[in-house]
Structure 1
Amino acid sequence: MYAGKIVESGSVDAIFYRSLHPYTVGLKNAMPSNKPGQAQQLTPIAGSPPDLFAPPAGCAYCPRCPHAMRICAVSEPVLQHLNLQGTDEAEHSHGEDSHHGSCWLHDGVAIANTTLPDQLHSYGSTDA
């Protein structure tokens, strides 16, 4: 959950071993290991959480996201089933739609069909 909205949901294995939302990945990178004696470099999530009384347009995680694209700044992604075809999870899910996320990184059709204002070139480095 980020800014009061679900950004990724799924089984424990899906979330811990196949995280797909940048916020979930960021949380995992900031979490210390429970293995004694293991050297680790924790990576904090840059920036600050959004003002929930004046939420930003688009994806609330956009200003902090290392993968932000122009579409993220203007349009909020919807929670959708994440295609896991070809993964172990797809083979073991028994047809259940168990892994969901809300991120434009996983919606190439929406990116290709969205016209974006020219002034939003500062978000990320991906031309979408």
Structure 2
Amino acid sequence: MSITRFRLAMLGAALGFLGVALAIRAVAPLGGWVEQSSGTALYASMTYAGVLFLAPRLSPFAAGASALGWCWGAEIFQLTGVPAALSEESLLARLVLGAAFDPIDLAWYPIGIVPLVALHLMIRKRTMK
């Protein structure tokens, strides 16, 4: 697969994860654990796809580590209060950085990334034969 096609696939994947997150939000009770947990895992999945969109030659493990590092870093950054202040002014800042630290989110990020790393490894193995 060409780099351009791969990047388009990653963009499509990210948009797909966003669509699923928005669909869940539309039907789940606002503020419920399903909405919160699935949104966190899908944010991590979008991040993984975004990492590969930006750096398509990364290995699945490097992409997973980068995505997890971003997610955990953004979550820990929320402890400073800066994301909360930015989120009051910008929906984009809220979507990218979040607003309030939740230690449970630290466990949900790998749930959104690890299956994608495994899938990516399986696809690479099949295409390298």
Q: What range describes the TM-score normalised by the shorter chain of this pair?
A: under 0.3
Query: Taking CA–CA contacts closer than 8 Å with sequence separation of 6 or more, which of the two structures ends up with the larger relative contact order?
Result: 1
Larger Rg: 1
TM-score with structure 2 setting the length = 0.27
Higher-strand-fraction structure: 1
TM-score, scaled to structure 1: 0.27
Which structure: greater helix fraction? 2
